[in-house]
Amino acid sequence: EIGVRSAHRFCSVAPFSGLAAASSTGSGAASAVGASSPSPVSASGTAMTVACARIDGSAPWPGGIPRLKLLREAPSRSALKIEEAWLVLLDDAERASWLRPGMSAVDLGAAPGGWTWQLARRGLRVTAIDNGPLAPHVLAMDTVEHLRADGFRHRPRKPVDWVVCDMVEQPVRVAALMGEWLAQGHARAALFNLKLPMKKRWEETQRCLGLLREAAPRHEFRARQLYHDREEITVLALPM
């Protein structure tokens, strides 16, 4: 009889090294590139399901969740979303390359300024676009400019490094907007959230990602529902 404890004992001694790499290539031979970590997904009295994942591709945080602290000066909880996105969707080399002081960013729908604040803290020059007010201490930051304008209508006078967006809007509208910014060369990279509907979320996700890939085929898109996200996914776009 197979129970949960016996399943874990089996996984601790089973020779699963390289199984994930072998199965992904179809070669049937164990790969030397990183061992695999087997773990029982479910166990009944007669059967056990085992999942196997590459150890070198696992998240560095316990449970896969980066434990971030919302600082007192953060204008909103959304500041945690962009911080987590940088940790999860970018690797160390990409963070060093794409988040350099002096780079330029436009934050669409910025108020009260959570994402603008995070970008400015890293030394980026940020144009915050929103008809609403920014938190006073964000507005006072040397590298922040606030333009009272519609996030869907604003376009930069010259190309910027980043466009970011956390507007509460239909996901297909945001996807179309981001696709245009990338396709027209208004921004080199993008980071944005798509607020998903209550029903058919997977279908809407596929629709939006398909629209983005068609609009900006020279960009790579990475999408995840992050721990600090709610009914939404976070999408990163980088030039290939």
Q: What are 107-129's pLDDT values in tens digits? A: 999 999 999 999 999 999 999 99
CB 82 within 8 A of CB 164: yes
69 is catalytic: no
pLDDT at 17: 47
- Residue 43: what pLDDT? 58
In 3-state terms, what secondary structure has residue 179?
helix
Using CB atoms within 10 Å of the CB of residue 132, give its burial: 0 to 12 exposed, 13 to 18 middle, 19+ buried. Answer: exposed
Say if CB 194 and CB 208 are below 8 A apart. yes
Q: Tell how strand 104-108 and strand 160-165 pair up.
A: parallel
So what's the pLDDT on residue 67? 77
Q: What end-to-end distance do the CA atoms of the chain give, in Å?
A: 51
Q: Which residues of the chain have pLDDT under 70?
A: 1-45, 48, 51-58
* Amino acid 24: pLDDT: 37
Looking at 158, 195, 199, 200, which residue is catalytic? 195
Could you tell me which residues come within 8 angstroms of residue 144 by beta carbon, excluding any fewer than 6 positions away? 113, 116, 120, 126, 128, 134, 138
If one counts every other C-beta atom within 10 angstroms of the C-beta of residue 23, the result is: 13
Cα distances (Å, whole numbers) of residue 58 to 37, 38, 53, 90, 93: 10, 12, 8, 14, 17
Give residue 60's identity as a one-letter amino acid code: P
pLDDT for the residue numbered 28: 39
3-state secondary structure of 183: helix
pLDDT at res. 66: 75
Contacts of 185 (CB under 8 A, 6+ apart): 159
